[in-house]
Amino acid sequence: MMNDSKARYGSITRFFHWSMAILVSWQFLKFFDRINDGEHWVGETLVPWHISIGSLILVLIVLRLGWTVKEKGNRPEHGSIIGVLAKIGHGLLYVALVLMPVTGIFYMVGNGYGLSAFNLEIIAKGEEVSWLINIGSLHSYIAWGLLFLVAGHIGMAFVHQFIIKDGTLKRMM
């Protein structure tokens, strides 16, 4: 079933969720640049895709937000206080998923590097723009915030699965 329902998330929502979960995990490998200045297998093989994958995530999150608005009244419900916290947590995840690529692009363009994704030039190299650099410098802080949010999110998925046992994980599988 493509659409969501009150009982479970449909295939389109699940496609967005799991494809982006994989791509965002890939993006976190950029933290490994802190080890030996990125001179290792991860840094030389997977991390060079950072800008291309980040740009792809921007496209996916715009489409996903549109889909979320469309399916809003049609999704599994969240009762109780844990449900309110889940809504806040998911909202923060969405905000971070928009801010990460936006600040990354501001960093690149602000420093005059331009933007190329998958060998395609999207924005040409140019002058430095200080206000873009200032906003772009938030990229790393937001990355740490997103990492903690994702860790809490995965932790809660396991709490639902193994402690509360209410089938929450199943509706996203």
Q: Using CB under 6 A as the criterion, which residues of the chain lie in contact with ligand HEM when the complex forms?
A: 13, 17, 20-21, 24-25, 27-28, 30-31, 34, 50-51, 54-55, 57, 68, 76, 78, 86, 90, 93-94, 97, 100-101, 104-105, 107-108, 115, 139-140, 143, 146, 150, 153-154, 157, 168-169, 171-172
Q: What distance in Å separates the CA atoms of residue 101 and residue 136, rounded to the nearest whole number?
A: 10
CB of 35 to ligand HEM, least distance (A): 10
Residues 6+ apart with CB under 8 A from 18: none
CB of 129 to ligand HEM, least distance (A): 14
CB of 159 to ligand HEM, least distance (A): 11
Residue among 107, 73, 106 at smallest CA distance from 3: 73
Residue among 63, 69, 57, 48 at smallest CA distance from 19: 57
Is there a contact between 16 and 64 (Cβ–Cβ < 8 Å)? yes
Nearest CB to ligand HEM, comparing residues 97 and 132: 97
CB of 169 to ligand HEM, least distance (A): 4
Nearest CB to ligand HEM, comparing residues 43 and 54: 54
Q: What distance in Å separates the CA atoms of residue 133 and residue 112, rounded to the nearest whole number?
A: 9
Nearest CB to ligand HEM, comparing residues 77 and 127: 77
Q: What distance in Å separates the CA atoms of residue 61 and residue 66, rounded to the nearest whole number?
A: 8
Residue among 86, 26, 13 at smallest CA distance from 57: 26
Residues belonging to the chain = 173
Nearest CB to ligand HEM, comparing residues 84 and 127: 84
